[in-house]
Amino acid sequence: MIALLLRDLKLAFRAGGGFGLGLAFFLIVTVMIPFAVGPQSSLLSTIAPGVLWLGALLACLLSLDRLLALDWEDGSLDLLATAPLPLESVVTIKALAHWLTTGLPLVLAAPFFGVLLNLPVPGFFWLVISLLIGTPAMSVIGTFGAALTVGLKRGGLLLSLLVLPLYVPTLIFGAEVARRGATGMEVQTPLLMLAGITAATIALLPFASATVLRINLR
């Protein structure tokens, strides 16, 4: 499993799907927002938690179409399906590799981008916590979407259309945690909901992804 994880990490960087692409997109979104809504500090402080969460979500989408496509093209996916390692473990490792190369860098960079949007000081901690809890769910959901569209020509747009509605609950509760934290409100309820969503996706979706892959590989 460690060898597979290291292989996927190397493939992610070689294919241009490493942390650089996601961070660049995240930065562009953060920089463009003040030009679109105006430079008012109070307005930027209000919308900063939602904008940062939305930017992180969209950045996660950029590399999803390559998550399983490379293995499909070179035949590695067929070998992995017949390997002693369960297919559920394979998709879990791929989701972990995606999070390490995309989700984790976004979590670490979010506070710096929050400065550009005048995020209130109390919100930095809760922004990082919410992204740290929520981004694994986005990687697991993205892996499920990639399994559904693997082998399809030009499946990137279809993948985005399938995955975005599944991201909505994570976006709602993640942004709510950051917003409440920034304004000094109680965050326990949305934080528990966000953690529950992440736990449920990690527990259930690898099995769904493996089932879909087995069907597509027949």
Provide the residue ranges of all domains of the chain, joining segments of one domain with +. 2-217
Tell me the CA distances in angstroms from 198 to 81, 137, 168, 207, one per residue in order: 26, 5, 13, 15
User: Which residues lie below 8 Å from residue 30, measured CB to CB, with a gap of 6+?
Assistant: 51, 52, 55, 113, 116, 117
Q: Which regions in the chain score pLDDT beneath 70?
A: 1, 8, 11-19, 73-75, 78, 153-156
Rounded CA-CA distance 57/14 in Å is 22
CB 146 within 8 A of CB 68: yes
pLDDT, position 15: 58
pLDDT, position 214: 83
pLDDT, position 84: 74
pLDDT, position 85: 78
pTM exceeds 0.85: yes
